[in-house]
Amino acid sequence: MLPINWTNVVAVNVNGYRNQNEDVYGVMTTKSSEFEKTNVVLDDSLRLKLAQHRPKTVVDIKSKDCTRLATSDQHLFHCKLDEIYAFEINSMERRHIPWDKDDWIIDICYSTLLELFFIWSNSGFYTFDSSTMEKRQTIENIRDTGTGWYRCTCFDKFLFLSYDYNIEQRKIEIEENEYELINEWKLAVENDNELIRCMKVNELRIVLGIGEYHRTDRFELHDYNMNILHTLNFNILDIALLPHAKWLIVVKSSNKLTIVNNDGEVEETTYYNCKDNVLNSITFGSNMLVIETCNQLYFHDI
């Protein structure tokens, strides 16, 4: 592997961005005591709506705020500390994946280019093959995790890594089996306690959830040069990538789900009615939405 060249180091200031202070929590739709009458589905225009719609599958599983979800076309990975469970999209069979005890998984994402998962744990940064359910490679020149906050995400040929309020962009070179560092950015945060709690990308945007360790205060939409294009102020638990350049945001301790487009416009906010708090959401395959609570995973056809 060639040595990393540190290039294009810039500071990104959070001041001076366009700020949208509308009520991003939106209008709450009518709640019902019957769970099956108030589950969320996505219509053809990718707007959230409430309908008489049961989830296709409900799986009992213990989760915490530290759990991470990632999906390929065939598998959903649910990671909690040093435990990994894989779900197969057709059978919904749950499989426990052996992992070293006390090697906590910090984050996980999937590369469509490599057709491999990236797993970032206390012991290193790995590629993981879901066809064999085994580690494929240890990626060198990725800094060790410590007491900070670490996130990884990728889109096409780019891998993005964040360390507290620093972001790296790496280019995936398949033939050379390299992950060349091409950009590094340091966010000019509002105070020393702020960090990147969530990070996702699509073909045009890098979206960040910025806040302190136990609270995310704002959603930031950036271009690939890390210019801030738009900001929304609310407490985010998780961000999921939707088709057609849209983002699904889970609002903390409210069970509210918000769709935001690539222009930073809130298209809809609605309420997911279940007995436990919603923690995460993610799309699975071409026609499924997964909602995670502290006790269950809800699989919805969309």
What is the structure's pLDDT at 43? 52
Residue 185 located in a structural domain:
yes
CB 256 within 8 Å of CB 266? no
Give percent above pLDDT 70 in the chain: 81
CATH number at residue 268: 2.130.10.10
- Per the domain annotation, does 246 fall within a domain? yes
Residue 2 lies in a domain: no
Give a yes or no: residue 69 inside a domain: yes
Structural domain harbouring 175: 9-301
Positive/negative CA dihedral, 256, 260, 264, 266: negative
Please give the DSSP secondary-structure letter assigned to residue 35: G
In a domain, 206, yes or no: yes
Are the C-beta atoms of 264 and 242 separated by less than 8 Å? no
| Whole-number pLDDT of residue 244 | 86
pLDDT of residue 14: 33
pLDDT of residue 53: 61
Is 252 a member of any domain?
yes
- The per-residue pLDDT for 50 is 38
Give residue for tokens 């105070």. Answer: 191
Give a yes or no: residue 4 inside a domain.
Answer: no
Q: What phi, psi does 273 have (nearest 5°)? A: -90, 110
CA-to-CA distance for 80 and 42, rounded, in angstroms? Answer: 28
- Please state the pTM of the whole predicted model: 0.83
Mind listing the pLDDT tens digit for each residue in 23-52?
A: 322 222 223 333 444 444 555 454 555 333
Residue ranges for the chain with pLDDT beneath 70: 1-53, 64-65
Is there a domain that residue 1 lies in? no
Which positions ≥6 away from 85 have C-beta within 8 Å? Answer: 61, 77, 78, 94, 95, 96, 97
Report the alpha-carbon distance of residue 272 to residue 95 in Å, rounded: 27
Looking at residue 28, its pLDDT comes to 25
Quote the number of domains for the chain.
1
Tokens of 272: 């997911």
How far apart are the C-alpha atoms of 48 and 194, rounded to whole Å? 31
